[in-house]
Amino acid sequence: MRHILIAAALMAACLGGAACSSNTDDEATETIPHRLGFTGAGNFPNDPIEQEELLESLGLSNEIQFNDAVLAHMEALSGLMARVEFFYLGNGEFVHIHESLSQKMLSAGFEIYGCINPISPTESLDDAYDAALTDLVKIYPQITHWQIGNEPDLLWTDHSKFPAFFLRSQPLVRAACPSCKILLAGISNQYDTSSESHQRYESFLEEIAAAELSGRAFDVFDMHYYREKPTASEIAQAVPDLKALLEKHGLAQGVTFWCTETGLYTGDPPSPDLGPRTEEEQAIDLARMVAWMSAAGIQRIFFWTLIEGYAGSVIPGFFDSMGLIYDGLGEESSRGIAGGTKKKAYTTYGLLGAALKNTSSPSKVSAGVYRFEGNQGPVFIIWDEGGGGSVSLTEISAPSVLVEDLVPDSQAETQEETLTVSQGGVTVTVGQSPKLVTITQ
């Protein structure tokens, strides 16, 4: 029975999708290290047969080696944030599915946050829950952000029980760790304010607001975003719409925005609603989406996932092909793609992760020009968004800049060039594929 519950927990974690020290309204302008991270960093299957197939395909011997490979990739990509799942089984017991990997992340200084959920359908908590949650928070002092729930509008058997779960859990976390920040459960992939799911989520906010909790109800609002092809207009509108929803219920003060779940697949999922997507499209959209989300005010962006793999996906080929590294199984095997092969987006992610990890104040300067303020000067993500074939960058206090392609070419290489800055500005030739511009040292 325990094995079944853990398998169910893993499914819930995969279906769904870290930390600033200030709660002020000016938090978005502060330096935010490690802007990029991963949600399902360690998608190691529970089933022994699936474990053996995955390890063999990746050329690994055991789960320890798998975890070490995940850590090495995350470090190489500067994606040092991750979500850790804790599922409440009842009778005072939490299960932590990938505990060995999370412990290694904590030891390595990664920035992780905890997400607590009851195992469905045990959403009615028992008397042992309070002490169990208090102990959980106290034994993980390195975790400074705790998320209460995940996509209850979509995943819970009885979503109406979520407000009670939040209202019971929030004071316990605050008491156990007064300096910790609270994340509201992520809202599922819904952007139409008239949708049933959106309205259901608003009902959660109504109950939370009516409870009049001491202090701020939550510190971070979590928006999830999954699309075949992301769009700038949808992302730009989603954030103010959700902020307006919080303001309507008096919950917006000091709240910042994260996206703890997003992803871009490759291949052709067996679904009539999803078309084929190439590696190049994944890489291009990854760079654009980071720019769009950052400019919209989203501080943390967690991608699903690092190495392909998704147990029990309700959309076969969608979640399990969002990784930056092929697992070499299934359809990939017939195409001769070996497990462990990196996709183009791996390079894109790594360039962005390194360049943005100590930046702040992201903004859209003009069509195709997204600027981040870095410790060593501005960082730009640019492409031909408005037409014209070139963009002008200004207010640069450096003699030259390095311009790098964010998407590798057919030889898996990225081209770069150094341009001289004249009178604080430089003009860069651009196309549809994004480029990264940084100050030369």
Domain boundary among 331, 356, 381: 356
Domain boundary among 336, 356, 376: 356
Total number of residues shown for the chain = 441
Domain boundary among 356, 388, 406: 356
d(CA 340, CA 81): 21
> What is the full per-residue pLDDT of the chain (441 aa) written as tens digits?
333 333 333 333 333 333 333 333 444 445 677 899 999 787 788 889 989 999 999 999 999 999 999 999 999 999 999 999 999 999 999 998 888 899 999 999 999 999 999 986 657 789 999 999 999 999 999 999 999 999 988 878 888 899 999 999 999 999 999 999 999 999 887 666 667 778 888 999 999 999 989 999 999 999 999 999 999 999 999 889 899 999 999 999 999 999 999 999 999 888 888 899 999 999 999 999 999 999 999 999 999 999 998 655 556 678 889 999 999 988 888 889 999 999 999 999 999 999 999 899 999 999 999 999 998 899 999 999 878 899 999 999 999 999 999 999 988 899 999 999 999 999 999 999 999 999 997
d(CA 141, CA 26): 26
234 and 100 share one domain: yes
246 and 107 share one domain: yes
Question: By residue range, what is the domain housing residue 404?
Answer: 362-439
Cβ atoms of 436 and 396 within 8 Å: the answer is no
345 and 423 share one domain: no
Structure tokens at 414: 């990225």
12 and 95 share one domain: yes
Can you give the CATH number for the domain in which 347 is found? 3.20.20.80
241 and 331 share one domain: yes
241 and 275 share one domain: yes
324 and 222 share one domain: yes
Q: How many CB atoms lie within 10 A of CB 306?
A: 26
304 and 392 share one domain: no
User: What totals of helices (H) and strands (E) does the chain contain, helices first?
Assistant: 12, 19
Give the pLDDT of residue 192: 66
69 and 54 share one domain: yes
Domain count, the chain: 2
Can you give the CATH number for the domain in which 408 is found? 2.60.40
Find, among 191, 293, 299, the residue nearest to 242 by Cα.
191
